[in-house]
Amino acid sequence: MIRKLSWCLSVLLLLFLFASLPDCPAALDTPACLTLGGQPGLDPLAVEILDNGNMGVSVWDEIIPGTGRYGYVARIFDQVCWSSVLHVTVGSQSRVYYGDAVQDCAFPGDTTAGFPAATLSAAADGISVTAEWLLDADLGLTLRQEIRYSPGSYLVHKQYQVLCTATELTDLILIHGGDVTLHDEGLFSQAPDRTIRVTDRGLPPRRQVHYAAASGTPWNLWLADRRSNAWRRLEQNSLGQTVAGLVTDAAVLVGWQHASLSAQTAWVLATTEDYSPPAIPTPSPSPVPTVTPTPSPIPTSTPTPTPSPIPTASPTPMPSPSPSPIPSSTPTPTSTPSPSPSPVPPATPTPLPSATPPAAPAASPLPTVAPT
C-alpha cells in the first residue's frame, strides 16, 4: 500500500511539473552551480552561477512583506531566469549562441545553438566565480564570464570576454539580462548617464535594482519593458534603446555591439547591478512637533504690565486742596457779627462803584468808626 501511494505521488508530481512549466524554463538536467555570498547575518545577497549560462540573485528580505519572516528572496524570476546571448558573423554566416533561460526564443541566424556546459571555477579568495563556454571548437570561439561579489555588499560585478583564436568575427552583439521579479508592479527609469533603475510600486517602495555599464564599456543597446515585449525584441535582435514606464512583468536586457574582432583578440565588457533597497526619507516629520512650543511665551508676557498702571491712577482725588481757597473767602462772614455798622452805609454811598475786590480792605476801617 505504501509503495502504491508513493508511486501515485511521484506521478502526480511529474504531471504538475509538466503542466506548470515557467516562462523561463531551466534545463531539464541538473546544472552545476556555485554560489557567492549567501551567509545570513553577513551577506545581503546570494549570487548563483550555473554552468548552463543562467544566474540568479537573491536579497535578504522579508519573505512576505509585513510578516516579519526573513530569508533570501529572489530578485530574478524562477530564481535563475537571467542569461546571455551572443551574435557573431563568420564570413557570410550568422551565428547565435544563447543561455538556457532564453532557450524558447526563436533566434534568427544561419546557425543557432545553446550554451554547452561551462567550466566553473571559484577564486581562492571566494569573491568571484568564472564560467567559460567553448561555443565553437573549430573556430576556437569562447565566451568567458566572471561574476564578483564582496561579502556584505549589495553590488554584483560582471565581466565578459569574447575570444576567437582561428578567424576574424564581424557584427558582434552580446546581450545580457532577464526577468526581474518584484512584489508589485515595476517602474522603470533612466538617468542621464544611461543607467537603468527598476523599483516596485509598493508604498513605500521596498525593492529596486540599478543597472549600470562600466564607464569604459558603455551599452549600445538596452531594453526595459514587459517580459513578453523584451523576449520578442530579443528574438528579432532589435533591442534598440528603450525604457518603458510602469509594467507588471518587468524584464531588463542590455547589450554591446562591436563591428569586428580580429583573431586572438579579446573583446572585454563589464556591467554592474546594485540591489540596495530604496532610501526612504522618513526622518523629515520629526522636526515638525518641535516648532509648536513657540507660542508659549506670548501668554506669559501680556498679563503683568497692563494691571500695574491701573492702581497708580487712583491718586487722582488729590485735587481736594483746590477747595481750600473757598473757605478763605468765608472769613468775611465772620466780620458780620457786628450788625451795628449797618447804618453807616447810607453815609458812604459813593464807594459802591468800586465793588471790585479792593473794596474788601476798605471795609476794615468801618468797624473802627463804630465806637465813636
Burial of residue 49, with CB atoms counted within 10 A of its CB: 0-12 exposed, 13-18 middle, 19 or more buried: buried
pTM: 0.69
Q: pLDDT tens-digit profile of 226-277?
A: 999 999 999 999 999 999 988 888 999 999 999 999 999 999 999 999 999 8
| Residue of 333 and 105 predicted with greater confidence | 105
Q: pLDDT tens-digit profile of 110-169?
A: 999 999 999 999 999 999 999 999 999 999 999 999 999 999 999 999 999 999 999 999
The pLDDT of 14-26, averaged and rounded, is 40
* Mean pLDDT for all residues in the chain: 79
Reported as type and span, the H/E element at residue 122 is strand 119-122
| 3-state DSSP assignment of residue 109 | coil
pLDDT of 78 higher than 50: yes
The pLDDT of 12-18, averaged and rounded, is 43
DSSP label at 76?
B
How large a percentage of the chain has pLDDT more than 90? Answer: 57
pLDDT of 317 higher than 70: no
- Domains belonging to the chain, first-starting first, are 82-274 (2.70.98.40)
pLDDT band at 305 (very low <50, low <70, confident <90, very high): low
pLDDT band at 193 (very low <50, low <70, confident <90, very high): confident
* Long-range contact set of residues 26-32: C-beta below 8 Å, sequence gap at least 24: 26/52, 26/54, 26/78, 26/80, 26/100, 26/101, 27/52, 27/54, 27/100, 27/103, 31/100, 31/117, 32/117, 32/120
Would you call the peptide bond into 205 cis, given omega within 30 degrees of 0 as the criterion?
no
Q: What is the C-alpha separation between 203 and 209, in angstroms, rounded?
A: 17
Residue 79: other Cβ atoms inside 10 A: 19
Reported as type and span, the H/E element at residue 8 is helix 2-19
